[in-house]
């Protein structure tokens, strides 16, 4: 091993711990903000558009949708849209010519939040974090829908309507 790479093994744990701590504190902040909604209350959060973006982005930090290739979740916004478009219209909005479908949000989160016997601690933590994400989304929207665009490389949009327009989180799922 040359001197240039001599300290590399010591950097990994520091970076890992910094990322883990950031994720933990973001999750704690989100849970604190949405705790009343998670207990069954139906009152929506009244957040400005930047606050909503920050909440959803924090809830998604370090979270990847489980598939053959894990991708992060990122925020999207169409401020001029005030109702849910059809799946084909949504595909046009995101400039895709791939086939599109619209599914129930419960179906989507059922896969991501289910805990099975034999799962690793990391998989269980991810499932629980998706439960927090689901609560954050439900605290911002009266109704959620999922748009799936594509066949093998499927672009997923978790979408809701509120005063900010059609907003939510997007990710990619690989299906072969």
* CATH assignment at residue 66: 3.40.1460.10
- The pLDDT-based confidence of 66 (bands split at 50, 70, 90) is confident
Residue whose C-alpha is closest to residue 158's, from 142, 172, 144, 140: 144
Question: What are the φ and ψ backbone dihedral angles of 22, each rounded to 5 degrees?
Answer: -60, -45
Q: Which run of H or E residues covers position 36?
A: helix 8-38
Greater confidence (20 vs 122) lies with 122
Domain count along the chain: 1
Model pLDDT, residue 79: 92
Residue found under tokens 């327009």: 165
Q: Which domain holds residue 141?
A: 3-174
Task: State pTM to two decimals.
Answer: 0.76
Task: Answer with the residue of higher pLDDT: 156 or 36.
Answer: 156
For the segment 100-115, the average pLDDT, to the nearest whole number, is 92
8-state DSSP, 44: P
Residue 32 pLDDT: 46
The arithmetic mean of pLDDT across residues 46-74, rounded, is 90
- The whole-chain average pLDDT of the chain stands at 81
Place 45 in a pLDDT band, splitting at 50, 70 and 90. Answer: confident
Crossing angle for the helix pair 121-140 and 8-38, nearest 10 degrees? 40
Say what the pLDDT of residue 92 is: 95
Tell me which residue has tokens 């829908």. 145
Residue 114 tokens read as 């289910």
pLDDT reported for residue 43: 65
Are 115 and 125 spatial neighbours (Cβ–Cβ below 8 Å)? no
Average pLDDT over residues 146-174: 95
**Is the predicted pLDDT of residue 30 greater than 70, yes or no?**
no
Both structure tokens of 137: 């989304």
Over residues 99-118, mean pLDDT: 92
Q: Identify whether the C-beta of residue 113 lies closer than 8 Å to the C-beta of residue 130.
A: yes
C-alpha to C-alpha distance for 150 and 19, rounded to whole angstroms? 31
């Amino acid at each position: 091993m040359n001197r240039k790479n001599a300290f590399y093994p010591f950097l990994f744990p520091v970076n890992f711990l910094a990322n883990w701590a950031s994720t933990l504190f973001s999750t704690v902040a989100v849970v604190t903000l949405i705790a009343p909604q998670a207990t069954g209350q139906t009152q929506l959060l009244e957040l400005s558009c930047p606050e909503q973006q920050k909440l959803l982005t924090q809830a998604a930090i370090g979270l990847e949708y489980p598939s053959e290739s894990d991708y992060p979740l990122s925020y999207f916004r169409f401020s001029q849209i005030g109702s849910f478009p059809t799946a084909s219209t949504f595909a046009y909005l995101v400039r895709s010519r791939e086939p599109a479908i619209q599914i129930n949000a419960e179906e989507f989160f059922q896969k991501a939040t289910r805990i099975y016997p034999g799962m690793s601690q990391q998989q269980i933590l991810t499932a629980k974090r998706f439960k927090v994400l689901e609560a954050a989304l439900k605290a911002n929207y009266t109704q959620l829908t999922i748009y799936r665009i594509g066949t093998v490389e499927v672009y997923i949009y978790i979408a809701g309507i509120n005063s900010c327009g059609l907003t939510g989180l997007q990710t990619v799922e690989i299906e072969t």
